[in-house]
């Protein structure tokens, strides 16, 4: 258990250095909307931290001219740029690239809307920073894009991962764990869908604070279970997973709304984003289970080392909780 706990503590101390790392890293967003033949309005949304903006820029073919129309607007996590793009021909079948993207760890979601009503969505990544804009839109491109975004969202959403880790440590038995993870999945899928479709919503900052509080609660539950106390969480962890999963779904929705959705493919994008989140979550749970099995088989267990995991989880979550409340 010691190796696992040391890894967790290092992980926690690194993430605790700044509140930004409590959340997933959001991709950049490029929207290109045709307003008249060969004339386009371009919205370029670039991620930022407190003191740094990513030095990346869209690049078009030489037959196009890009000019700024409004001063940059600085938001909490992004900087917004507005441009006008003029060309001698349609942007379809031309190459788009993102300069310097290969030097970052950030993706770029691109949405292209044409006058004829067609809409394209695709994802550019550091390993693939250019694309030939297709003439005909593809549903597969939308599905692939949002599956990847969903996987990245959960694997880089450290607070959600910490909650799932606590559930794995609490739940005894594979069947009970499967039921618990399924309840969490169902709950956050419901509220994610409701929020994106405008059926129900909650303000982001309080939701993020309660997500951190949910992790603190699970850390305390782990300590109670280690002392031999029987709690609702230990008996029926799927109930707790479902209740808090509803709140986590609103957290997922906030990130998805920041990313953006293709207006003509909202159901497909929403469904495939959910699939991506679940694939990432399953991958994480499998890795944790394999690691725990290895540790329990080959590393001697001691009472004080058992307590390090919930204390590390609870301390980091408490830091996030205070930081998010202060940020209201």
Top pLDDT among 255 and 275 is at 275
Does 259 map to a domain? yes
Tens digit of pLDDT for each residue in 260-273? 777 778 888 889 99
Does 50 map to a domain? yes
Looking at the fold, whether 162 and 109 belong to one and the same domain comes out as: no
Give the residue among 89, 100, 115 at the shortest CA–CA distance from 58. 100
Contact 298, 213 (CB under 8 A): no
Does 144 map to a domain? no
Q: What is the pTM of this model?
A: 0.77
Does 225 map to a domain? yes
Looking at the fold, whether 310 and 225 belong to one and the same domain comes out as: yes
Looking at the fold, whether 37 and 179 belong to one and the same domain comes out as: no
Provide the domain count of the chain.
2
Looking at the fold, whether 32 and 165 belong to one and the same domain comes out as: no
Range of the structural domain that residue 82 is part of: 28-137
Looking at the fold, whether 185 and 291 belong to one and the same domain comes out as: yes
Looking at the fold, whether 206 and 111 belong to one and the same domain comes out as: no
Q: What local confidence, expressed as pLDDT, does residue 25 receive?
A: 52
Looking at the fold, whether 131 and 169 belong to one and the same domain comes out as: no
The sign one gets for the Cα dihedral 222, 227, 228, 231 is negative
The three-point CA angle 279-199-324 to 5° equals: 65
Looking at the fold, whether 77 and 161 belong to one and the same domain comes out as: no
Does 47 map to a domain? yes
Tens digit of pLDDT for each residue in 8-19? 444 444 444 444
Looking at the fold, whether 246 and 221 belong to one and the same domain comes out as: yes
Looking at the fold, whether 17 and 50 belong to one and the same domain comes out as: no
Q: Residues 145-156: what's their mean pLDDT?
A: 88
Q: What is the CATH number of the domain that holds 119?
A: 2.60.40
Looking at the fold, whether 172 and 97 belong to one and the same domain comes out as: no
């Amino acid at each position: 258990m010691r190796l696992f706990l040391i890894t967790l503590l290092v992980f926690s101390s690194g993430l605790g250095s700044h509140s930004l790392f409590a959340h997933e890293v959001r991709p950049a967003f490029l929207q290109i909307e045709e307003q008249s033949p060969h004339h386009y309005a371009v919205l370029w949304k670039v991620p930022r931290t407190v003191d740094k903006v990513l030095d990346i820029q869209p690049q078009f073919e030489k037959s196009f001219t890009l000019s700024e129309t409004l001063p940059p607007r600085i938001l909490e996590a992004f900087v917004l740029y507005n441009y006008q793009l003029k060309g001698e021909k349609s942007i379809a079948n031309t190459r788009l690239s993102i300069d310097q993207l290969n030097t970052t760890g950030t993706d770029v979601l691109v949405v292209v809307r044409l006058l004829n009503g067609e809409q394209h969505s695709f994802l550019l990544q550091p390993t693939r920073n250019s694309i030939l804009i297709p003439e005909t839109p593809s549903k597969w491109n939308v599905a692939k894009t949002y599956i990847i975004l969903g996987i990245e969202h959960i694997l880089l959403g450290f607070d959600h991962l910490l909650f799932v880790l606590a559930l794995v440590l609490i739940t005894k038995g594979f069947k009970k764990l499967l039921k618990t993870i399924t309840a969490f999945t169902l709950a956050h899928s419901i509220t994610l869908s409701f929020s994106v479709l405008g059926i129900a919503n909650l303000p982001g900052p309080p939701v993020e604070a309660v997500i951190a509080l949910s992790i603190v609660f699970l850390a305390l539950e782990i300590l109670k279970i280690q002392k031999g106390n029987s709690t609702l969480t230990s008996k029926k962890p799927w109930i707790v997973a479902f209740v808090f999963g509803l709140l986590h779904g609103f957290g997922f929705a906030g990130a998805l709304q920041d990313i953006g959705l293709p207006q003509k493919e909202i159901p497909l994008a929403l469904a495939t984003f959910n699939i991506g989140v679940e694939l990432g979550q399953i991958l994480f749970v499998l890795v944790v289970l394999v690691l725990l099995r290895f540790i329990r088989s080959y590393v001697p267990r001691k009472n004080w080392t058992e307590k390090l995991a919930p204390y590390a989880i609870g301390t980091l979550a408490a830091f996030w909780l205070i930081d998010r409340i202060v940020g209201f």
